[in-house]
Structure 1
Amino acid sequence: MGKSEKEMEVEVTPDKLFNKGFIGITCINFVVYLVYYLLMVIIAVIAQEQLHATLGQAGLASGIYIIGTLFARLLMGKKLESYGRKAVLRYGSMFYLVTTIAYLYVPSMGSLYLVRLLNGFGYGTVSTATNAIVTAYIPKSRNGEGINYYGLSTSLAAAIGPFIGMILLNTTNFYFIICFSIVLITATTIASFIFPVKNIVLSSAHKKIADSWAWESFIEKKVLFITFIAFLMGLAYSSVLAFLSSYAQVIHLVSASSFFFVVYALVITLTRPLSGRIFDAYGENYVMYPSYICLTIGLLLLSVTSSSWVLLVSGAFIGLGYGTFMSNGQAICLKKCDGHQIGVALSTYFIGLDLGLGVGPYLLGELRTILSFQGVYRIASLLPIACILLYALFYQSNEPLPQLQPKGEN
C-alpha cells in the first residue's frame, strides 16, 4: 500500500534519530507524563487539607490512579494494534482530558477515588500508545540511545511535574492547578489529532492472539523479570513522589524541596544521552547496576538529611538511579522483543513500574504510622539493594542477553 504524504514526512532513515516523528511523539509523551506527575505529588496533600483524609487514605488517593492505569495497560497493550495506534492515541487523549476536567467536581473522598481511577485509565491509554508509536521512529541500530532520549521526556516530566506541582501548591490553589492541567492536556489532544501515526497491520495469526483472552495476549513473558525489577524500583521511588512534600515540612526544608526535582532534572538531562550510548555499545549491565546503587544512596541520604545541600545531593543520586533505570529497562524490553510484540512487552513493563508507584504510597503510608519518615526512607532504600541481588542471581545467569559491540565494529 502507498503511504500518505504526511506519513512520508516522518519516515525513518537508517541512522537518523531526531526525525519529525520521533520529536513529535516525544513532545506529546512529555506533556502526558508532566500532568501525571504534577497531580501525583500534590493529591495527597489536597486530600488531607481539603477532604480531611488520613495519611493512609491520602496515599490511596495517590495510588488508586495506578489501578486505572493498570487496567488501561492490560487492555490497550493487548488491543493496541487491533484498534490501531492512531485511534488509541486520539481517543485516549480525549478521555484523559474529560477525566481531568472531572477533578473540578470532587466533594468527597469517594468521588476523588473514582476520578483518580478513571483519570489513571486515560493516562495509561495515551502513554501505552506513545510508548509503542515512538519505536517506529527509532533506527534499530540506535535503540538504546533512542529510548534514552525518548525516556528523557518521561524523566524530565517526573522532575518538572512535581516541581511545578509543589510551586503551584504553595502559591495558588487546587482549582488553578487543575485548570493549568486542563490547558496542557487540551494542547496534547489537539496535537494527537495532527500527528500522523502509522498503524501496524497484523497477520491473521497475530490478530487471533490479540483477539483472544489467553495469558500471552495480555502479558509478554520475555520481559517478566525486568518488569518485576521495575515494580521494586517504582515502589522505592514512590516514597519520594508521595511524601517528599510532607517530609519537607517536618524537617523544615520546604523551600529547598522545591528545587529537589530541578536537580533531579538537570542530572538526568546531562547523563541520559551518555547512558544510552553505553547501553548500545557495551550492554545493559553497565547502566543497570549503577542505577540500583545510585537510588540506594539517594534514599539513604534523604533519610538522614537535615540541611538543604544534602537534600539536593539526594535528588541528584535519585535522578541517576530511578531516572536511568526507567528508560534503560524499556530499552531492555525492545532488545528482547520486536514487531507485533512491542506493544504488549512495553505494556507489561510499565504495568510493573506503575504498580510499584501505585501501591507504594499506600503501603509506605501505612508503614508511616509505626515509623518516622526517616525510617520509611531507610526501608525504601533496601528495595534497590534487593534489585541488585535479584538481577545478579537471575537475570545474568538465567536470561543472558547478547552484548552489543561498540559502534564502528563489525
Structure 2
Amino acid sequence: MGKEKLWTRNFTIVSLVNFLLVLVYFLLMVTIARYAVDQFGASTSIAGLVSSIFIIGSLIGRLVTGRMIEDVGSKKTFRVGLLLFIITTALYFFTSNLSLLIINRLLHGVAVGVASTATGTIIAQTVPRSRRGEGIGFFSLSAVLATAIGPFVGMLFTRYGNFNMIFMFNLLLATICMVISFAVNLPAIPAVKKDKEKVGTGFKLSNYLEYKAVPISFVALVVGFSYSGVLSFLSFYAEDINLVDAAGFFFLVYSIMLLLSRPFSGRLMDAKGANIVIYPCLVVFAIGMVLFSQAYYGVILLLAAAFIGLGYGNFVSVAQTISIQVSPPHRFGLATSTFYILYDLGLGAGPYLLGFLVPFTGYRGLFLYMAGVVVVSIVLYYFLHGRAEKEQKKEKARQGVLQGN
C-alpha cells in the first residue's frame, strides 16, 4: 500500500497563500519604521511602535480565530481573513497621519492573524494523519522561505524604489491570495457542528484556547523568546563585532539548512515520535546560540546560522505538530491559534524585554544568556510533554507484547 497523497491542490494553494501572507508581513516589518520616520517624522520609539503593534494585532486575530473556526468553519474564516487582509493592505495608501498608520498596522495584524491561523488549521485538517509531521513540516517551510525573502525584497524596494511601490506590490500579493483561495475545496467536518452545542454562549477561556495545546505552546514561547533577540538585534550586533558583510548571509544560510533538514525531521517524527527530534533540536539550537554569542569571524557567525536553522527551525514545526496531535480534531482551529498566540507572544515580547538587558550584558552576554534559556527549555519540554510521550511509547510497546502473546 502506497503513501497517502500529501501534495494535493488544497495543500499546495494554502501553503502558497501562507507564503504570501508571511512575505508581506516581513517585507513591511523591515520597511515600515523607516516609512514612519521619513513620511511623518516619527521618533525612534514611535517608529518601533508602528512596527511592533502589528504583532499585537496578530495576537488579537489569533485569539478570536479558533472560536470563529468552530462557529463558521475554517473555509469561511480563511476567506474573511483574506478579505480583511486586502482591505487593510489597501488602506496604507490612505494613512495620511501617524495615528491612522498605527491603527491600520494593528488592523493589518488582526487580518494576518486570522488568515494565517486559518491556513494552519486547514493544513491540519487535510493532511493525512500518517504524514502529519511531514506535511506540517513542508507547510511551515512556506513561512520560513517568506521570512528570508520578505526582508530581502523590502530592502531592495527601500534602496531602488519608494514606499508607494511597496504598498502596490503588497496589494497585488493580497489580491492573488484572495483569487487563488477560491480554488480551495474543503470537505465538511461534522465534528465541529456536533460539538458546537457544548460550547455554550457565556465567556469561557476554553472557547478561545485549547488547554491540551498549552504545555507545548508554552515551551514554544520560551524558545521563541530566546530566538527573538537574533531577529531584532542581528544588525546591531553585526555592527558591534564588525561582521556586517557576513550577517547579510545569515538568514540565507539559516533557510538553506532548514530546507535541507525539514523533510527528514518531519518523517522522523511521524516514524519515531516527537522526542527523538525535539531533544536534539534544542541541544543544537543551544550550541548555535553559544557560537553566535562568541562569533569573532564571519565563518563562525554563518556556522551559528546553520546550527540555529537546524535546531530552532525544526523545533517550531515539530512543536506545532505536537499541538495538533494532542488535540481532538474538532479543536484543531483552537489548537493552532493557541500555539501561535503563545509562540508570537515570546517573539513579540522578547525584543522589548531583552532591550533592557543589552546595556548591562552587551550583545555577546545577552546571546550567551539566551543559550542558557534554551537549555532551560529542554527541561521544560521534558516535564510538560516529553516525559508523557515516553510513557505512552512504553505503554504501546507493552500492549504490543501482550497482544503478541
User: What amino acid is aligned across from residue 277 of structure 2 in structure 1?
Assistant: V
- Could you say what secondary structure the match of 1:219 adopts? coil
Identity %: 39
Moved more, 267-276 or 249-258: 249-258
Aligned residues of 1:264 and 1:315 also touching (Cα < 8 A): yes
Distance between the aligned counterparts of 1:227 and 1:64, measured in 2?
Answer: 22
Aligned residues of 2:285 and 2:374 also touching (Cα < 8 A): yes
CA spacing shift, 1:156–1:214, aligned 2, 3 Å: same
Distance between the aligned counterparts of 1:268 and 1:165, measured in 2?
Answer: 22
> 1:284 — aligned with what?
274
Distance between the aligned counterparts of 1:74 and 1:257, measured in 2?
Answer: 35
> 2:338 — aligned with what?
348
Aligned residues of 1:128 and 1:347 also touching (Cα < 8 A): yes
> 1:196 — aligned with what?
185
- Could you say what secondary structure the match of 1:16 adopts? coil
Aligned residues of 1:60 and 1:362 also touching (Cα < 8 A): no
Query: Structure 2-normalised TM-score?
Result: 0.87
Q: How does 1:309-324 map to 2 (within 5 A)?
A: 309-324=299-314
> 1:237 — aligned with what?
227
Match of 1:164 among 153, 159, 176: 153
Moved more, 32-41 or 317-326: 32-41
Deviation at 1:45, TM superposition (A): 5.2
Q: How does 1:3-402 map to 2 (within 5 A)?
A: 15-44=4-33, 46-47=35-36, 56-106=45-95, 110-201=99-190, 202-209=192-199, 211-397=201-387, 402=392
CA offsets per residue over residues 237-287 of structure 1, 9 Å max, x none? 222222323433444444433321111111111000100111011111111
User: What amino acid is aligned across from residue 283 of structure 1 in structure 2?
Assistant: G
CA spacing shift, 1:211–1:237, aligned 2, 3 Å: farther
Deviation at 1:17, TM superposition (A): 1.3
Aligned residues of 1:19 and 1:137 also touching (Cα < 8 A): no
Deviation at 1:308, TM superposition (A): 2.7
> 1:3 — aligned with what?
none
Aligned residues of 1:81 and 1:200 also touching (Cα < 8 A): no
Deviation at 1:44, TM superposition (A): 4.6
User: What amino acid is aligned across from residue 12 of structure 2 in structure 1?
Assistant: I
Structure ranking higher in helix proportion: 2
User: What amino acid is aligned across from residue 389 of structure 1 in structure 2?
Assistant: V
CA spacing shift, 1:70–1:207, aligned 2, 3 Å: farther
Query: Structure 1-normalised TM-score?
Result: 0.86
Distance between the aligned counterparts of 2:31 and 2:355, measured in 1?
Answer: 15
Aligned residues: 396
Gaps of 5+ in 1: 1-12
- Could you say what secondary structure the match of 1:372 adopts? helix
Distance between the aligned counterparts of 1:399 and 1:65, measured in 2?
Answer: 36
Distance between the aligned counterparts of 2:68 and 2:349, measured in 1?
Answer: 25
Distance between the aligned counterparts of 1:32 and 1:317, measured in 2?
Answer: 27
- Could you say what secondary structure the match of 2:187 adopts? coil
Aligned residues of 2:68 and 2:77 also touching (Cα < 8 A): no
User: What amino acid is aligned across from residue 379 of structure 2 in structure 1?
Assistant: L
CA spacing shift, 1:62–1:298, aligned 2, 3 Å: farther
User: What amino acid is aligned across from residue 332 of structure 1 in structure 2?
Assistant: I
Gaps of 5+ in 2: none
Distance between the aligned counterparts of 2:242 and 2:40, measured in 1?
Answer: 24
